[in-house]
Amino acid sequence: MKLSYKILSVLAALAITNIATAQNFSLPKYTKTILANGLTVYLMEQHEVPMISVSAVMPAGAIYDGSQSGLASLTALSLKHGTTGKTKNQLDEALDFVGASLTTYSDKEYAGLSATFASKDKGQILPLIKDVLVNPSFNADEFTKEKQRKLVSLEQAKESPGRVIGNYFDQLYYGNNLYANPAGGKPETVANISTGDVKAFYKSHFIPNGSAIAIVGDFKTIDMAAMVATLFKDWKKGTLPVANITSIPAPAQANVLLVNKDDASETTFYIGGPGISFNNPDKVAIDVINTFFGGRFTSWLNDELRVNSGLTYGARSGFVPQKNAGVFRISTFTANKNTETAIDKALEVLTLLHEKGVDETTLTSAKNYVKGQYPPQYETSGQLADLLTEMYWYGFTEDYINNFTKNVDGLTVAKANQIVQQYFPEKNLQFVLIGKADEIRSIAAKYGTVKEVELKEVTK
């Protein structure tokens, strides 16, 4: 008993420390400037570790793919195939020689670059980063290899329902909207993308106006500002690309997308509906409520589906916000024979949230958890660099960070219950089930209008 008491005392002390840290947390000082060509530059000094992190974002995500799904992804990946001054091998060797990391990627809305290196090597690495962004060569042979790797990866993903179910859900929910485009692309479109397509996409989307770069770490701001201005001064301004985002109406009925995987012994499923955009004024409150509903290990969903019933190893829920759209999803998996029971249990918990609502004890627990988890999100220079480019892309200010704890503490039980009714979808839910259709087809029909596809098929 004494040992248990001591452990509990330590845990309580740690919790109090974390909460106190959260209450004192504010975004470190930084500068924001816009170069003549429109490039937004964030600089933040952090001298605790002799390292520098870089994050850059460009308007070049999957929503700009059009009919060539995967074009944004292939373009971003191809940035590292070499520059006008270095081959891919030379670029890789230069990075490896000083232990620097540099990755490029594309997401649903934007393309990005992340890099980390020792501060003493900034004179070598920053020019390489500039060349990757401004002077990529798009070598044809390297592009062919990249495309083959992409195609193999897309095929392999089908063996793991958890890797593809998000794409199926987006396509079910968003329909013909550009937000249905999967970030990684589709095999049948990726196969037809050429080097010329990638070059054209790069030219129209990788432009300084509409882009931002954040540099965080061990440097002097005045010196770094001069270096960045010189490096990027010749990056030519372009015409901002426009993604023709159509309106996204809430579903008028419950729909089920049944994705057949003949060899599946488990059913992986999502249940969800309308979510929020990133700049929703109630986002903090929504995140607090989702924490106890399905956002942590001790959530209502996980307790009911894993701890109490043993139907799964884990169940979660979450809002996936974008700049102009968003979805809410409950996710889990279970043995085929337990599919109906697991879905019903998840729906019961959602109903309980709406009917029982939130009490003071539950809300206080969620608040403390969220505040305790908050500061660790922004401890490293890389996390801070990413935060600054997120601020640029989504258009929020440091007030979101600095007032976070205040906004969490200000959430009342009455407001929380209002948030539940307003944002957590309960009617006309959308379901995606990936499993052996012969065993779960009749179950799927219970939840809405069913459309059935093979895992290898395109869903629209």
218-227 average pLDDT score: 98
Contact at 8 Å (CB) between 54 and 127?
no
Whole-angstrom distance, CA of residue 202 vs CA of residue 133: 10
364-381 burial, b for 16+ CB within 10 Å, e for fewer?
eebbbbbbbebbeeeebb
pLDDT value at residue 17: 44
365-392 average pLDDT score: 91
Instruction: Give the number of residues written for the chain.
Output: 460
Domain ranges of the chain: 31-232, 255-454
Three-class secondary structure of residue 293 per DSSP? helix
- Tell me, rounded to whole angstroms, the distance of Cα 299 from its chain centroid: 21
pLDDT value at residue 11: 40
Whether 189 shows a pLDDT value over 90: the answer reads yes
CB contact set of 386 (below 8 Å; sequence gap of 6+): 55, 114, 214
The tens digit of pLDDT for each residue in 107-159 reads 999 999 999 999 999 999 999 999 999 999 999 999 999 999 999 999 999 88
Fold agreement (31-232, 255-454) = yes
DSSP state of 245: P
What are the CA-CA distances from residue 184 to residues 158, 355, 386 (Å)?
Answer: 13, 39, 21
Whole-angstrom distance, CA of residue 458 vs CA of residue 98: 44
What are the CA-CA distances from residue 130 to residues 111, 300, 312, 314, 340 (Å)?
Answer: 15, 48, 47, 43, 53
pLDDT value at residue 19: 46
Whole-angstrom distance, CA of residue 63 vs CA of residue 208: 19
- Its pTM stands at 0.90
CATH superfamily of 255-454: Metalloenzyme, LuxS/M16 peptidase-like (3.30.830.10)
pLDDT value at residue 457: 58
Whole-angstrom distance, CA of residue 182 vs CA of residue 27: 33
Three-class secondary structure of residue 60 per DSSP? coil
CB atoms within 10 A of CB 120: 12
Share of the chain above pLDDT 90, in %: 88
CATH class, domain 31-232, is alpha beta
The tens digit of pLDDT for each residue in 29-44 reads 999 999 999 999 999 9
Three-class secondary structure of residue 356 per DSSP? helix
